[in-house]
Amino acid sequence: MKVLTDIRFEPDVASLMGEAHVSAGSAEAAEFEALLDMACSVGRPKAAYRECFIDARGDDAVTIGGVAFTSRTLRMNLDNVGRVFAYVATCGAELDRVHRPTGDVLAEFWWDAIKAAFLGAAQGYLNEHLTGTYRLGRTISMNPGSGDVTVWPIEQQRQLFALLGDVQREIGVTLTDSCLMVPNKTVSGILFPGDHNFRACQLCHREDCPSRSAAFDADLWEATRHT
Instruction: Round to whole Å and give the CA distance between 91 and 46.
Output: 7
Residues 31-34: contacts with CB under 8 Å, at least 24 apart = 31/107, 31/110, 32/110
Report if residue 197 touches ligand SF4, rule: CB under 6 A. Answer: no
Between 28 and 148, CB nearer to ligand SF4: 148
Count of residues in contact with ligand SF4, rule CB under 6 A? 9
d(CA 127, CA 118): 14
Q: Nearest 5 degrees, angle CA 184-CA 214-CA 132? A: 65
In the complex, least distance from residue 202 CB atom to ligand SF4, rounded to whole angstroms: 8
**Does residue 206 touch ligand SF4 according to CB under 6 A?**
yes
Q: Find the part of the chain contacting ligand SF4 (CB under 6 A) among 126-134, 163-171, 176-184, 200-208.
A: 200-208
Is 201 a residue that touches ligand SF4 (CB under 6 A)?
A: yes
Looking at the chain, the number of H-run helices and the number of E-run strands are 7, 9
* Cα-to-chain-centroid distance, residue 149: 17
Q: Does 212 interact with ligand SF4 (rule: CB under 6 A)?
A: yes
Give the nearest distance from C-beta 154 to ligand SF4 in angstroms: 12
Q: What is the DSSP string of 15-32?
A: HHHHHTT--TTSHHHHHH
The angle formed by the CA atoms of residues 217, 136 and 68, to the nearest 5 degrees, is 65
Which is closer to ligand SF4, CB of 35 or CB of 74? 74
Name the β-bridge partners of 86. 50, 190
Q: Does 146 bind ligand SF4 (CB under 6 A)?
A: yes
Does 209 engage in binding with ligand SF4 (CB under 6 A)?
yes
On whether the CB atoms of residues 147 and 56 are closer than 8 A, the answer is: no
Binding residue for ligand SF4 (CB under 6 A) from 156, 167, 204, 224?
A: 204
Residue 190 or 204 with smaller CB distance to ligand SF4: 204
Segment interacting with ligand SF4 (CB under 6 A) among 103-111, 115-123, 153-161, 201-209: 201-209
Write down the least CB distance from residue 117 to ligand SF4, Å: 18
Supply the minimum distance, in Å, between the C-beta of residue 147 and ligand SF4.
5
The length of the chain, given as a count of residues: 227
The residues of the shown chain that bind ligand SF4, judged by CB under 6 A, are 146-147, 200-201, 204, 206, 209, 211-212
